[in-house]
Amino acid sequence: MKIAMIRLEDVGPGGYYETRENQQKLWTVAEYLHRQGVPFQVAVIPRFVDPPRGINRSMADASNPVSAGYLRAIRGMPALGATLGMHGFTHQYGNAVSAEGYEFHDGSCTEDCPPDDSPDTLTRYDKFLLSYAYRRFQRALAHFRAAGLRPDWFETPHYTASALQRRLLEACSGVMHEENPEKPGSRTISFRAPGTPFSKGAWYVPTPLSYVGGASVEEDVNRICEQMGSYEERDIASFFFHPFLEFPYIQLRSGQTPLYSDQSPLHRLIWSFLAEGRRFVSILHLFRWSGSPFVQPAHRF
């Protein structure tokens, strides 16, 4: 069976998903995938921070109309075939805006740079519990639980964390939806052995087809479709996609079904994958796939 995966990226209670209209369009995208029989992943940013605008908004704040509308959509998505993951806590640090900034340590950072953790957090449990990476993970998880949701995986913002912080995060999550640093370029899921006594190791699920960029939509759609055709049966033809790219192709109508152009980038991608004989699966399906050597990892959340 030739399999494929799609992840809806950077979906938080703010930015492109702040208005009621755009929340409805986000839901329209999810409904479209469901109608096509396409399970999908959603990378959720639990708290949206925009310091220049004075915004610091939790996905679980039912008293905030933006959060309430956003949460209605997110809560309904598992019934449409979605699995939800934590995409960091705020996907930013300092004065950076969520979905734009970094959250974990990056050696090339020059502004609003997140801290690294100390080596003793890998060996001393008291230090581990006080580490920056652990506390960010736990705050994200607290917001998920307050919203009545359970995450199934974790993804570092911009796929970035120090080598040390990655080990701390692996101790928190058994499934990382990104590339295994020990297997760059891999097209299959892989296991990374524990790097600390507090960890059981972690499974990595990559997105080797990368994503569609806002400034290079046509080039990336064509590239993904072309590259996907060369993937072997055991490879995971996986990519991620920002839902707001579909919004210009969706026309909402009062009391009627939205008009959704079949010429949108996502429509063309899905058709291409299905025409190639690819079957879309959820991230959890990979661990239950008949004939697969992989087993469902212990859930740590």
Per domain, the residue ranges of the chain are 3-287
Q: What is the pLDDT of residue 156?
A: 98
Say whether pLDDT at 287 is over 80. no
From the number of C-beta atoms within 10 Å of its C-beta (0-12, 13-18, 19+), residue 126 rates as: exposed
Instruction: Please provide the average confidence, as pLDDT, over all residues in the chain.
Output: 94
Say whether pLDDT at 298 is over 50. no
Q: What is the pLDDT of residue 255?
A: 86
Mean pLDDT across 235-262 = 96
pTM, two decimals, is 0.95
* Lookup result for tokens 């959250």: 103
Task: List, for residues 190-213, the tens digit of each pLDDT value.
Answer: 999 999 999 989 999 999 999 999
The CA-based diameter of the chain, rounded to the nearest angstrom, is 59
Q: What is the pLDDT of residue 299?
A: 45
Q: What is the pLDDT of residue 126?
A: 96
Q: What is the pLDDT of residue 24?
A: 98
CATH superfamily of 3-287: Glycoside hydrolase/deacetylase (3.20.20.370)
Pairwise CA distance, residues 180 & 236, whole Å: 14
Neighbours of 54 (CB within 10 A): 7
Say whether pLDDT at 165 is over 80. yes
Q: What is the pLDDT of residue 217?
A: 97
Say whether pLDDT at 297 is over 90. no
Residues forming beta bridges with residue 191, ordered by sequence position: 203
- Tell which wins on pLDDT, 299 or 12: 12
pLDDT band, residue 300 (cuts 50/70/90): low
Pairwise CA distance, residues 13 & 87, whole Å: 13
Task: List, for residues 231-247, the tens digit of each pLDDT value.
Answer: 998 899 999 999 999 99
Residues with Cβ within 8 Å of 276's Cβ and at least 6 positions away in sequence, in order, are 2, 228, 229
